[in-house]
Copies of this chain bind each other. A is one copy, B any other.
Amino acid sequence: MTSTKEKILNVAEELFADHGFSETSLRMITAKAEVNLASVNYHFGSKKTLIQAVFDRFMLRFTNDLSLEMDRLDEADSELQVIDVLSTLIKPITQLDNLRPDGAGVFMNLLGRAYAETQGHIRRFAMEHYASILKRFTQLLHTTSPNLQPTEMFWRLHFMLGSFIFTLAGHEALQEISESDFDQKVSIEEIIKRLVPFMSAAFSFDSNKPYGTTQASDDVGHKKLSAGEH
Contacts and interface: CB of A to CB of B under 8 A. Distances in A.
A58 B214 CA distance: 37
Contacts of A11: none
Contacts of A149: 224, 227
A98 to B, nearest CB: 13
Interface string A176-201: 01100110100000010111111111
A182 B150 contact: yes
Contact of A159 (B163, B207, B224): B163
B205 A152 contact: no
Given A158-B167, A205-B201, A228-B90, A118 B173 contact: yes
A212 to B, nearest CB: 7
Given A116-B20, A155-B194, A184-B151, A214 B224 contact: no
Interface stretch (A26-34, A42-50, A69-77): A69-77
A187 to B, nearest CB: 12
Given A19-B119, A87-B225, A204 B191 contact: no
Interface of A: 18-20, 22-23, 69, 72-73, 76, 78-84, 87-88, 90-91, 109, 112-113, 115-119, 123, 144-145, 147, 149-152, 154-156, 158-167, 169-170, 172-174, 177-178, 181-182, 184, 191, 193-202, 204-209, 211-218, 222-225, 227-228
A209 B217 contact: no
B113 A116 contact: yes
Contacts of A72: 227
A95 to B, nearest CB: 10
B163 A228 contact: no
Nearest to A212: B81
A208 B150 CA distance: 31
Top-5 shortest CB links A-B:
A162-B166, A201-B205, A206-B216, A202-B202, A90-B228
Given A151-B184, A204-B215, A204-B216, 19 more contacts: A20-B116, A78-B225, A81-B217, A145-B217, A149-B224, A150-B182, A151-B182, A152-B194, A154-B177, A159-B163, A159-B195, A162-B162, A193-B228, A197-B205, A197-B207, A200-B211, A204-B214, A206-B217, A209-B222
